[in-house]
Amino acid sequence: MHRMRSKILSGATALMSLLLVIHSVSAARNAQTNAQRPVPGVVTWKALEAHTAAQPGVTVVLFHQRDKKDQPRFASLLKQADGSNIEIRIGKGDWQSVSAARLRMCFGRGLLMFPPGTIKLRDKDEFQARFPAAKPSAAQ
């Protein structure tokens, strides 16, 4: 009886170990898939130029999408957000609000504006931006 209980306990332990390994592999695969899936309203950008002026006290950053495949999303999101606030994040930092403008005469470019000294964004820095949810049109 003792031998049988020992074998059952060993088998149960092995089964639990196997289930934990399967769960870990599955969780890692899901995390990788989710990391590669585009998040609605969030695109990774690249700063082309950053300039700060003491008067009138503004930092402006010319930017575009980092990845060419994001260009259609970039164009759509920026067009919707033209003249409004969006949020940006550098690395794993906090989301910060900035003003965004679409440069109509400079295809595929946007302009960020924020008070000097609030965000450290330099030429060629990469950052994420998230845009407010699209507003329903009057026809809807």
Does CATH number 2.60.40 belong to domain 42-130? no
Q: Across the chain, where does the E strand assignment appear?
A: 42-53, 58-65, 85-89, 96-102, 110-114, 126-130
Residues 6+ apart with CB under 8 A from 56: none
Q: Domain residue spans in the chain?
A: 1-37, 42-130
Q: What residue has token string 């609605």? A: 40
Identify the top-confidence range among 26-30, 52-56, 122-126: 122-126
pLDDT above 70 for 117: yes
- Peptide bond between residue 38 and the one before it cis (omega within 30 degrees of 0): no
User: Do 127 and 45 form a contact (C-beta atoms < 8 A)?
Assistant: yes
Q: What's the pLDDT tens digit per position in 29-48?
A: 444 434 445 566 688 889 99
pLDDT at 19: 32
Per-residue pLDDT, 39: 61
- Residue 111 near residue 103 (C-beta atoms within 8 A): yes
Q: What is the mean pLDDT of residues 66-80?
A: 87
- SS3 state of residue 3: helix
Of 134 and 88, the structure prediction assigns the larger pLDDT to 88
